[in-house]
Structure 1
Amino acid sequence: MIELDGVSKIYKTGAVELRALDSVNLTIADGDLVAIMGPSGSGKSTMMNILGCLDVPSEGRYRLDGIDVGRLRDNRLADIRNTRIGFVFQSFNLIPRTSAARNVELPLIYAGVGGRARRTRARAALERVGLGERIRHMPNELSGGQQQRVAIARALVTEPTMILADEPTGNLDSVSTVEIMRLLVELNDAGRTVLLITHEDEVAAFAKRVVRLRDGRIVSDVRQERVGVSG
């Protein structure tokens, strides 16, 4: 369960104060698939950073499964990021000249998992995203859609309860966009909470719920009939 209670994020430069988020209240249940939308400067990236424990609120509380994240030390925040949250980014963030399998293993290396277990879990994650035959391929040997699948496998390999996807289809063509969104829907249907940061209505159409931000505030929060999944 995700709870934002009066959350604000304030950046100060001298006497100038910018409220990137302004008294946001939001609850997201386990197993939901939510698209967070808004124009540039609306606060959606700031919200992503707070939800992903990459930053903490200036005001208000962020509770993740009842834990007040703002009260945690940096090492505990890092542990939550590495074990409970899987991140997927627009730019894939894969390491060049490193195989798909080794890219997927990285979070497990940081977690201190042994070599044999890492390889087994990385292979299973790549098979889960349909790339079991590409484990030895380098990123430059994969299409954009395949690279994003590797990134999703890397996000899955620690078995997180939540996936945060920041513009996950921003660098993909329309066919790959649908493939990636169907994969995220499958992961959601299997029980994972999925949060999407997107500016594309076509991507948000795959969500169960759409939250729109403007000037750091939520201006609409609508549950919808999910479209574009079958076929």
Structure 2
Amino acid sequence: MTGRDAERSGAGPINGVEHVLDVRKLSKVYGAGETAVHALRDVDLTVRRGEYVAVIGQSGSGKSTLLNMLGCLDAPTSGRYLLEGLDVAYLDERQQAVLRNRQIGFVFQAFNLIPRTTALANVELPLVYAGVGRRVRRDRAMAALALVGLQGREDHRPNQLSGGQQQRVAVARALVTGPALLLADEPTGNLDSRSTADALALFDRLHASGRTIVLITHDDEVAARAERVVVVSDGRLSETARR
């Protein structure tokens, strides 16, 4: 089914309210019978355009499973997940890969940069996969690096950058396609206190500019920077704060 067909299936914004994310009764079960593990249980979550939401939970709480669902990296056992009003269940693997590349910007704890490649080439990578021409992708990558404050570092390889700078490259790469959603998985987990403060200040600026951010963390202080905090415990979600 195409994206247009999925939109016709009733996967549009609910009650005229525009949501970037709309998760309904999402569940994930691994295994079967007595050994079944219920990683997510009837999760409901909506995120409006421009919101900054932190999802917090301890190891084993289900937050990593939720991240995989939101990033279209795994399929739920039941329930629905709408991204930009589109029900991803109607997309085949190729269409989901295109959706991930164009609509979701990923920022990981481990940065996931290619070691022997420059900062510029790392940021260009999603545009290479999208088939964007060389000159255009270079211009967009340069702009993304400037946005995160890395002018003059375009030709540096990851081992020539600090941890905080590497994370900024990762954020630039996540932003270069102009995604609907910035999905950050423990983005400060490998940073020292100063780099953590810099990274969180960058997320604050991105939020102020209208970016939609969902940040996964186990750290209360990191979560407190978001305007909404959602707690995952035993596979269930509960909202605890709205700033």
TM superposition score category, shorter chain reference: over 0.9
Once residues 26 and 14 of structure 1 are traced to their aligned partners in structure 2, the CA distance between those partners, rounded to angstroms, is 28
Bigger shift: residues 6-15 or 189-198: 6-15
Is the counterpart of residue 124 in structure 1 residue 143 in structure 2? yes
Write the letter of the residue equivalent to 2:97. Answer: A
**In structure 1, C-alpha distance between the alignment counterparts of 2:159 and 2:33, rounded to whole Å:** 44
Residue in 2 that maps onto 1:133: 152
Q: Which runs of 5+ in 1 are unaligned?
A: 226-231
1:56/1:69 contact within 8 Å kept: no
Q: Distance in 2 between matches of 1:98 and 1:63?
A: 35
Give the C-alpha shift of residue 14 in structure 1: 7.3
Whether 2:106 is the aligned partner of 1:87: answer: yes
TM-score, normalised to structure 2, is 0.89
Corresponding residue pairs, total: 224
Distance 1:66 1:161 in 2: 11
Q: For 1:223 and 1:64, locate their aligned partners in 2 and report how far apart those are by CA, in whole Å.
A: 23
Give the counterpart of 1:208 among 206, 220, 227.
227
| TM-score, normalised by the number of residues in structure 1 | 0.94
The equivalent residue for 1:229 is none
Native 8 Å contact 2:40 2:236 kept in 1: yes
* Greater Cα shift, 77-86 or 8-17: 8-17
**1:68-217 map, 5 Å:** 68-217=87-236
The aligned residue for residue 32 of structure 1 is 51
User: 1: distance between equivalents of 2:219 and 2:85?
Assistant: 32
Which consecutive residues of structure 2, in runs of 5 or more, have no partner in the other structure?
1-18
Q: Answer yes or no: is the 8 Å Cα contact 2:106–2:182 preserved in 1.
A: yes
**Is 1:66 paired with 2:82?**
no
Supply the distance in 2 between the matched residues of 1:119 and 1:14 (Cα, whole angstroms).
Answer: 52
- Give, in whole Å, the separation in 2 of the partners of 1:128 and 1:65: 24
The answer (yes or no) to whether the contact 2:84–2:180 under 8 Å persists in 1 is no
SS at match of 1:60: strand
**1:36 match: secondary structure:** strand
